[in-house]
Every structure is written in C-alpha cells, then in structure tokens.
Amino acid sequence: MRRLVVLAATIAALLCGASRALACGTTAGYSYAGVAAPAKAFGISASVTPMGGFNVLAGHVAGWVGVGGPGKGPHGSDEWLQVGFSGFPSLNGNDLYYELTLPNGRPTYHQVATDLPFGQPARFAVLEIQGRRDWWRVWVNGKPASAPIHLPGSHGRWAPIATAESWDGGTNGACNGFLYRFDHVAVAAAPGGGWRPLANALDITSTGTRVQPSRGKGSFVAAEGDDAFRLLASAG
C-alpha cells in the first residue's frame, strides 16, 4: 500500500510539472482512489461510469486504466499509457481521452470524445498486441481508439492500474470531488487477451479518498469529496 501511494505521488509530480503546493492527497496537489494488480500483466480493462457528485473547482478529475509509470521505461525513464474519462471546471459532462508518455518525452493528451453525460459507462482497455512485442493499443467499447503504439521495453514488465484521480490545478488547496464506478476490472494473461478478473488487488488511496468494493467480481467505487461521499452512502 505505501509503495503504491508513493508511486501515485510520483506520477502526480510529473503530470503537474513541478508544482509543490501542499493540497489534497499529495504534495503535488494530486489524490488517488483505485487499485493495482498484484502482478505483471499484458493489459487491463474495465467498465468505468462517472456517477455524479463531481465538484471540479480547479485542475481536473479523471477515472482511468493504464500501464507503466514514472521510472518504468528503459533505463529508468518515464513511460506510460492510460485511457479513461476526464472532467474539468468548464465542462458540464466528461471527456474521453488517452494519455501517452514515451521515454525521454512529456505526457501527451489525446481527446477521443467530449461532453459525455454522467451515468454513461464506457469500456476501456490498454492491451499489448499479440505477435508484436512492445506494441500496444487503446480500446474503447471494444473498438480501437488509437493506432498501434510502441512502448520500448514494456513486454512483461508492468503491473496495471485502475484508478480515479484529482489534481487541484496548482491552487494550493482546492479539493475537487469525484465518484467513479469501476466494473469488471480484468487483466490480460497474454498479449492480445486471455482476460481474467482482477484478483487480490492492492488499494491505492490518498488522504480524503475512498475505495469501496462494489457488487460483482473486480468492481469498486472510487470517491472524493462530501457530495460524492453522500451519494456513496445513499447507494448503500
């Protein structure tokens, strides 16, 4: 658990570009609520639903699945791929995006769809391509959402993550709220598939966030903020 929280803090520091303001969750203004696979796999998938209780004051919120991370690329470089929903202060609904970081590069944000309503789920996956070592693809609702992506040195090296996150936008304290449901989280036993329900997952949490198991194997709810906590309690 502690190792995962430290990893989350490191991800946050990279994504916010050196902000050091003490805010929600970590010294970089990030907070997390999710799970990590206990072992390496070749992909991860989940149905994610933005449920409501959102209060995005600054920065962003997101619910995503992904692989890689800070220092996980060749020679300790940063390398990751994630796909999910994102929300911003100026957006009434949710964006659908994927984010890519290549070794010795910076994170790049790719918008797939915008202004999607709350309560509408999507099935996300990142998966290594069968027969193409170190090549991956993003999937949304069973269809490719990216071209093949070369992630050097990635084959058989990463334990995937499914998580929600919030960043305070460098405001030194603005705490956003979110409520995401993750259903049927699965990991790939081989390139191209071999999907298995995620078992023995490790929780990723920050100060002020909650991860609550939900009905169904490999399902949970990730929450932050008073409005989200009230909705979570009422859902019982």
Give 46-61 pLDDT, tens digit per residue: 999 999 878 888 899 9
CA dist 42 and 66 (Å) reads 11
pLDDT tens figures, 167-225? 888 887 778 999 999 999 999 999 999 999 999 999 999 888 999 988 767 899 999 98
Domains of the chain: 2-234 (2.60.120.1270)
The bridge status of strand 94-101 relative to strand 161-167 is: unpaired
Sign of the dihedral defined by the CA atoms of residues 113, 182, 165, 100, in that order? negative
pLDDT tens figures, 63-100? 999 999 989 999 999 999 999 999 999 778 899 999 99
User: Per-residue pLDDT for 159 more than 50?
Assistant: yes
Q: What is the pTM assigned to this prediction?
A: 0.86
